[in-house]
Structure 1
Amino acid sequence: MLLNKGQTELEILQNRFTSYISAAIQRRRNDYIRQVLRYRQTEVEVERIFKEQSTAAESDIWEELPLLMCIENNQLLCALNAITEREREIFFQSIRWKKF
């Protein structure tokens, strides 16, 4: 095996080329890592935005539905259907509700 002492013109050229290739590989590696990190960050942001929008859209839908259609508890729904409209108004005004 020949040792490269960097003394001849060919050895100097080989050392420069090796240095150039090493730097190019390191830059490409760093670019790749940055690209992966940007992609992951973008993916997380998209998921966060999607969750916020779907949650907002879901609550908008619930707010637009008639009150009795928002109730998921069948026993409560039957009981509310059995009382008068005025009694239902009093019931709903006396509690704070989001979703039954």
Structure 2
Amino acid sequence: MKKALRIAAKTFLFFALSMLFAWIVPYYELVGSWLSAKVSLEFAISVSKIVLGEVYPEPLDVVYGLVCLVINTIITVMVYKLVMLVIRVIKQKIRE
């Protein structure tokens, strides 16, 4: 039971961090200008067709969403690892 609660708490922490960074980080400024300069419409259509299995009416939105999701995941994983390291250090200090 204790292990299940730990897993649930870690999952909630990861989800909360993900939502926090999705709300805080200005993805449009980071991704929007790069996306419009580097990604062609043909590439966006092919990516949306591969990911969704069909041609999406706004293929650039699909690519933008995927890039934002990857950036958010990378940021969240790094911060999550840092938070878990801090928690582990605090637990060790308390036990000593």
TM-score (norm 2): 0.40
Q: Which has the higher helix share?
A: 2
Question: Between Structure 1 and Structure 2, whose CA radius of gyration is higher?
Answer: 1
TM-score (norm 1): 0.38
Higher RCO (Cα < 8 Å, 6 or more apart): 2
